[in-house]
């Protein structure tokens, strides 16, 4: 059953990634890759934090979303080839900045997902009369 969750999640993530690339085709493939990867970082932070206390997800569904959907949405291989293409075209500065910006922005996006989940949890606690 776990494989089905991952498969369905992967299909949805791959289609989502493709749609992002279509929407951003005029901005270049690296922009679409960056947005897909940052979205995935945000979602993984949000999902894993919310699933600790708020979301009641089976481990199969949580893995299907994290490994399947988010795994297919994000892509290290496309990112790597884009950096390589920048190097081949002589755009050394972009080739150096793209991984640095992607890494830093990815960490910030994951943190943003965690922070949003924490706010949701805090509001839920207050609404239920358990907080301040």
Each residue of 63-120: pLDDT tens digit? 999 999 999 999 888 889 899 999 999 999 999 999 999 999 999 999 999 999 999 9
At residue 127, the pLDDT reads: 76
How far is residue 54 CA from its own chain's centroid?
20
Mean pLDDT over residues 7-32, rounded? 94
At residue 132, the pLDDT reads: 54
Is the confidence at residue 24, as pLDDT, over 60? yes
| Alpha-helical runs (H) found in 24-131 | 29-53, 59-63, 71-73, 76-88, 92-127
Residue 130: band (very low, low, confident or very high) from pLDDT cuts 50, 70, 90: low
Nearest to 37 by CA among 96, 97, 105: 105
Is the confidence at residue 121, as pLDDT, over 80? yes
Tokens encoding 3: 């494989």
């Amino acid at each position: 059953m776990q494989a089905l969750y991952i498969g369905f999640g992967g299909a949805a993530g791959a289609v989502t990634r493709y749609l992002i690339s279509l929407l951003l085709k005029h901005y270049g493939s690296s922009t679409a890759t960056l947005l897909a990867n940052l979205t995935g970082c945000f979602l993984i932070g949000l999902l894993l934090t919310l699933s600790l206390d708020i979301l009641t997800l089976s481990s199969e569904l949580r893995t299907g979303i994290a490994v399947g959907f988010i795994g297919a949405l994000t892509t290290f291989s496309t990112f790597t080839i884009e950096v390589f293409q920048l190097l081949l075209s002589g755009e050394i500065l972009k080739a150096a900045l793209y991984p640095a910006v992607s890494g830093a922005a990815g960490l910030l996006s994951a943190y943003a997902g965690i922070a949003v989940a924490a706010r949701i949890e805090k509001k839920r606690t207050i609404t239920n009369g358990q907080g301040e």
